[in-house]
Amino acid sequence: MAAEELQEIARAIVADGKGILAADESSGTIKKRFDSIDVESTEETRRAYRELLFTTEGVEDYISGVILYDETIRQKASDGTPFSRLLQSKGIIPGIKVDTGAKPLAHAEGETVTEGLDGLRERLAEYHELGARFAKWRAVISIGEEIPSEYCIWVNAHALARYAALAQEAGLVPIVEPEVLMDGEHTIDRSFEVTSRTLHAVFTELRDQRVQPEGILLKPNMVLPGYESSSQVPDDEIANETVRCFLRHVPAAVPGVVFLSGGQSEEEATRRLNAMNAIGPHPWKLSFSYGRALQATALKAWQGKEENVEAAQQGYYHRAKMNGAATTGTYVPELERETVTA
């Protein structure tokens, strides 16, 4: 695929007022989510839940892309339409998670490296055939007393760049996700320092491996104090520190930054994205690629019951609309009390 087409897809994903639904939970993660509502995780319940999200009326006004899991991209809606084609018919771009998860990093206690490069070129070609037009690979960086090591940061950055180069070769926009985990007691300053080191390594490797920055999207963490930290800070400080960090390390050629929500609540993720856009304009679009922060209300409303589908869809639509507003800096908490209509 020509570089111009990759750029076009990347720009479409971060169009004004739109962002990504991350529906690529692994089998283990979706089981935990279903356990929380006392629903058994089977291929059929997972399919029914994803169909509920993908068929929500009008959500394409706020959702530009959906990241799918290997099982999901092969599944069909109840009328027999493949999920990738269903999404495309609504003007939503299908994407695919391609890494195989974080595994312990040799000679580095407490640190991980993401695997999945073996056979990746062939898998990317198949996913393109199945309708995917972007991909995602997540690296995990933990903050602790002696970690992360430079070894861990650079090994993960190297793998992210190898994946990104292969994805572009296959005609898929790579979403590059170096997630600095916010578990722990660290301050926002420590988070800034580790996020800086990580982004520096990632963009060095991307450049060295000939990845075109115009044809990627970055999916990072926000710069936050650790969730167990005694030094919590207001949203505007999180927004300022995150933007300051990215201005130092993220090339202006990158079309967009689509934040992960991590362990933030639905409204926290929305408020903080909005705070960043309120202090714009920025060299890149700042948008969202949220999983739990788009789905928590919907999942709770659904409870695995057919009669709750409409209520669940309304919850998902509302969160998508709130985050759509946050991408343009026009979200205000009063919008949360709007009558929800899907």
List the one residue out of 63, 53, 73, 52 whose CA is nearest residue 132. Answer: 73
Active site residue 321: no
**pLDDT over 70 for what percent of the chain?**
98
159 lies in which domain range? 3-337
- Beta strands (DSSP E) in 51-98 are 63-68, 93-97
User: What is the reported pTM?
Assistant: 0.96
**217 is a domain residue:** yes
Q: Which of 25, 177, 179, 266 is catalytic?
A: 177
Q: What's the CATH number where 107 sits?
A: 3.20.20.70
Distances (CA, A) of 327 to 21, 87, 90, 122, 217: 14, 22, 21, 35, 15
User: Tens of pLDDT along 216-268?
Assistant: 999 999 999 999 998 999 999 999 999 999 999 999 999 999 999 998 999 99
**12 is a domain residue:** yes
List the one residue out of 71, 75, 105, 77 whose CA is nearest residue 89. Answer: 77
**213 is a domain residue:** yes
Active site residue 31: no
The tally of domains found in the chain comes to 1
- Predicted confidence band of residue 342 (pLDDT cuts 50, 70, 90): very low
Longest dimension (CA), the chain: 54
**263 is a domain residue:** yes
Q: Which of 219, 241, 266, 285 is catalytic?
A: 219
**342 is a domain residue:** no
- Predicted confidence band of residue 291 (pLDDT cuts 50, 70, 90): very high
- Predicted confidence band of residue 2 (pLDDT cuts 50, 70, 90): confident
pLDDT score, position 98: 98
- Predicted confidence band of residue 1 (pLDDT cuts 50, 70, 90): low
In angstroms, rounded to a whole number, what is the distance separating the alpha carbons of residues 107 and 102?
15
**130 is a domain residue:** yes
